[in-house]
Chains A and B, each alone.
Chain A
């Protein structure tokens, strides 16, 4: 079975631009979460979606938004990019039960120039 897939794998943007990152969960997983991992740090929780509804949000500005589609895939959007947004963005999918571990994609490496 295919794992969590993310696209693109790498992206270079300039300050002020916007970006859309995409994630396809493991088949049968209805929950998708997004994390930001800055170099040298652990992943920081951004959003969790379940059944197309936002179920949790981390401490990120409104420039960050996301949505989940009927096929459970998800997009993360970031507007007005700042240099500090440079990071690895990870998507994770899981069944809703939080006792089940999340399965991570390989991430999108976003570089802001």
Chain B
């Protein structure tokens, strides 16, 4: 079984401030972890992924995330928020196996205040 918990359904930051979106996962096997972004009336766009190897992964638009097995966490960060970062962000988990059931969190809506 696998699950994702995103703490904070809404997060507000000032433009230029640090962005921190929290994600904790549960998985009975080594997980594959993803962060996706969704803009209004659009599908999901991949920001970054962790499968194996380096635990600090860098993605598009200046985002990065660190896989911490001991804390079962995969938090998303960006040093300086831009207005264009306002969107909804989803953390997702799956694992190596016969098929690709991906479990998503409920999402965190990021507001960037000018």
Q: Which residues of A contact B (CB under 8 A)?
A: 4, 31, 33, 35, 40-45, 48, 50, 55-56, 58, 90, 92, 94, 96, 98-99, 101-107, 109
Residue among B96, B98, B101 facing the most chain A CB atoms (10 A cut-off): B101
User: Would B101 and A94 count as touching, CB distance under 8 A?
Assistant: no
Least CB separation from B105: chain A residue: A42
Q: Which residues of B contact A (CB under 8 A)?
A: 4, 32, 34, 36, 41-46, 49, 51-52, 90, 92, 94-107
User: Would B106 and A98 count as touching, CB distance under 8 A?
Assistant: no
B residues near A105, Cβ cutoff 8 Å: 43
A residues near B95, Cβ cutoff 8 Å: 98
Least CB separation from A109: chain B residue: B41
User: Would A55 and B96 count as touching, CB distance under 8 A?
Assistant: no
Separation in Å of the A34 CB from the closest CB of chain B?
11
A residues near B49, Cβ cutoff 8 Å: 99, 101
Separation in Å of the B31 CB from the closest CB of chain A?
10
User: Would B94 and A98 count as touching, CB distance under 8 A?
Assistant: yes
Interface pairs (17), CB distance under 8 Å: A31-B100, A42-B4, A42-B90, A42-B105, A43-B90, A45-B102, A48-B101, A55-B99, A55-B100, A56-B101, A98-B97, A98-B99, A99-B49, A101-B49, A102-B100, A104-B45, A106-B42
What separation, in Å, do the CA atoms of A43 and B104 have in the docked complex?
Answer: 6
User: Would A101 and B104 count as touching, CB distance under 8 A?
Assistant: no
Known: A43-B90, A98-B32. A90 touches B96 (CB 8 A): no
A residues near B100, Cβ cutoff 8 Å: 31, 33, 48, 55-56, 94, 96, 98, 102
User: Would B90 and A106 count as touching, CB distance under 8 A?
Assistant: no
* 13 new A-B contacts at CB < 8 Å, known A42-B4, A48-B99, A55-B99: A40-B106, A41-B107, A45-B103, A48-B100, A55-B100, A96-B100, A98-B95, A98-B99, A99-B52, A102-B102, A104-B43, A104-B44, A106-B43
Separation in Å of the A19 CB from the closest CB of chain B?
19
Separation in Å of the A61 CB from the closest CB of chain B?
18
